A and B are shown apart, each in its own frame.
Chain A
Amino acid sequence: MKKKSSALLLSATMIVSLLTACGGGGDKADNSQPSATSSSGGSSGGTKTVRFATWDTGDALKIQQDIAKKFEESNPGTKVQVEAYADGFDQKLAAGFGATNPPDVMYMWDFPTYHQSLEPLDDYASKDASLNIDDFYSGLFNYGKIDGKLYGIPVGFTTRVVYYNKKLFDEAQVPYPQDGWTWDDFKDIAAKLTDKGKKQYGFGVRASNDTYDLQGFVWSNGSSFISEDGKTIEGYMNSPETAEAIQIFGDLVKNGSGVLVGGKGQQSGEDIFKAGKLAMWESGIWPLAGFKEAGIDIGTVEMPAFPGKPVKGIIAESALSIAKDSKQKDLAWEFVKFFVSNEAIKMRTADLPVRVSVVNELKVDQDPLYKPFYTMLERSDNTPAFLLNAKWNEVNRHLSAAIEAVVHGASAQETLNEAVKDGVRYLK
Chain B
Amino acid sequence: MLKLLLKPFSARLSYQSIRTKLLVCFLIVTVIPLLSVGALSYYQSAKAIDSQFGKYGENAVAQLQQQTNAYLTRMSQTAATIYSYLLDPARSGLGDRSPGTYREILDKNNFENFLKALKTERNAGIYIIAKSGYYYGENNLDAAKLDRIPAWRAMPDDPTGDHWLGFYPQNHGIKDPEEGERLPVVLGLAESINNPYGALRGSVILIEENAEDLLRMFELFESDTQAHLTIADSQGRVVYETASEYEARDSDIVWHKDIEANDWTIEARLPAKSFYRSSGLIRSNTVIAAVASTLLAFALAYLFSSRFTARIRRLKDSMQKVSFGMLQTRTKVEAKDELGSLDVSFNNMVGGIESLIREVETNERQKKDAELRAFHYQINPHLLFNTLNSIQWKARLQGAEDIRQMLYHLTMVLEGNLDISQELVPLGRELRIIEHFLKIQEVRYGPVFRYELECDEALKKYPIPRMTLQPLFENIFFHGFEDGEGTIRLAVEDEGTLLRLELTDNGAGIPPDKLQKLLLPGEKRKGRGGLGLRNADQKIKLHFGVQYGLTVKSAPGEGTTIFIKWPKKEENPHGHVDGND
Chain A residues in the interface with B (C-beta under 8 A): 1-2, 5, 8-9, 12-13, 15-17, 19-24, 27-28, 30-31, 33, 88, 207-208, 262-268, 271, 397-398, 400-402, 404-405, 408-410, 415, 418-419, 422
Contacts and interface: CB of A to CB of B under 8 A. Distances in A.
B289 A31 contact: no
A404 B103 CA distance: 11
Interface in B287-309: 288-290, 292-293, 296-297, 300-301, 304, 307
Contact of B33 (A13, A30, A271, A404): A13
Given A13-B33, A271-B175, 19 more contacts: A5-B304, A9-B30, A15-B293, A16-B289, A16-B290, A17-B37, A19-B286, A20-B45, A20-B286, A31-B56, A262-B139, A263-B139, A265-B142, A268-B175, A404-B109, A405-B104, A408-B98, A408-B99, A408-B105
B48 A415 contact: no
Contact of A28 (B49, B101, B103, B175): B49
Contact of A397 (B109, B174, B300): B109
A19 B100 contact: no
A264 B100 contact: no
Contacts of B99: 408
A413 B56 CA distance: 69
Interface in B511-529: none
A405 B109 contact: no
A306 B184 CA distance: 47
A332 B173 CA distance: 41
Interface in B45-70: 45, 48-49, 52-53, 56, 60
Given A1-B304, A267-B174, A24 B282 contact: yes
Contacts of A9: 29-30, 34, 293, 297, 300
Nearest to A417: B102
Contacts of A264: 98, 134-135, 139, 141, 143
A307 B390 CA distance: 203
Contacts of A13: 33-34, 37, 293
Nearest to B225: A31
Contacts of A17: 37-38, 41
B183 interface: no
B384 interface: no
Contacts of A24: 45, 48-49, 282
B52 A19 contact: no
B224 interface: yes
Contacts of A2: 304
A16 B41 contact: yes
Contacts of B218: none
B285 interface: yes
B281 interface: yes
A20 B282 contact: yes
Given A19-B289, A264-B139, A31 B224 contact: yes
Nearest to B221: A33
Nearest to B135: A264
Nearest to A10: B33
Interface string B107-146: 0010000000000010000000000001100010111100
Nearest to A27: B278
7 interchain residue pairs of minimum CB distance: A12-B293, A27-B278, A16-B289, A401-B106, A24-B45, A20-B41, A405-B102
A397 B41 CA distance: 74
A5 B301 contact: yes
Interface string B205-225: 000000000000000100010
Give the most central of B38, B102, B121, B296: most A CB within 10 Å: B102
B544 interface: no
Nearest to A267: B174
Contacts of A1: 304, 307
A174 B109 CA distance: 39
Interface in B247-301: 278, 281-282, 285-286, 288-290, 292-293, 296-297, 300-301
Give the most central of A2, A24, A28: most B CB within 10 Å: A24
B42 interface: yes
A265 B133 CA distance: 10
Contacts of B174: 265-268
Give the most central of A5, A16, A27, A208: most B CB within 10 Å: A16
B300 A28 contact: no
14 contacts: A5-B301, A8-B300, A9-B29, A12-B30, A16-B38, A19-B285, A20-B282, A21-B45, A24-B49, A28-B52, A264-B134, A265-B141, A404-B109, A405-B101
Majority secondary structure, B binding face: helix
A17 B300 CA distance: 21
A5 B300 contact: yes
A30 B225 CA distance: 9
Contacts of B121: 88
B235 to A, nearest CB: 32
Contacts of A33: 56, 60, 220, 224
Majority secondary structure, A binding face: helix
A88 B285 CA distance: 54
Interface string B302-323: 0010010000000000000000
Contacts of B56: 31, 33
B168 to A, nearest CB: 20
A24 B50 CA distance: 10
Contact of A401 (B37, B102, B175, B286): B102
A392 to B, nearest CB: 16
Contacts of B60: 33
Give the most central of A17, A262, A265, A419: most B CB within 10 Å: A265
Given A23-B282, A267-B175, A408-B98, A12 B106 contact: no
B106 A8 contact: no
A17 B293 CA distance: 12
Contacts of A398: 106
Contacts of B286: 16, 19-20
Give the most central of A20, A31, A264, A401: most B CB within 10 Å: A264
Contacts of A30: 224, 278
A20 B296 CA distance: 19
Nearest to B26: A5
A21 B49 CA distance: 11
A178 to B, nearest CB: 34
Contact of B102 (A19, A20, A88, A419): A419
Nearest to A406: B102
A266 B139 contact: yes
Contacts of B134: 264
B325 to A, nearest CB: 36
Interface in B149-181: 174-175
A12 B296 contact: yes
B290 to A, nearest CB: 6
A208 B98 CA distance: 13
Contact of B100 (A21, A271, A397, A408): A408
A327 B301 CA distance: 77
A398 B113 CA distance: 13
Contacts of A271: 175
A76 B296 CA distance: 61
Contacts of B307: 1
A211 B134 CA distance: 24
A295 B446 CA distance: 174
Interface in B364-417: none
A402 B103 CA distance: 8
B107 to A, nearest CB: 9
A93 to B, nearest CB: 15
Contacts of B224: 30-31, 33
Contact of B42 (A15, A20, A28, A405): A20
Interface string B344-373: 000000000000000000000000000000
Contacts of A415: 101-102
Contacts of B105: 401-402, 404-405, 408
Contact of A27 (B49, B142, B220, B289): B49
A268 B175 CA distance: 9
A23 B121 CA distance: 42
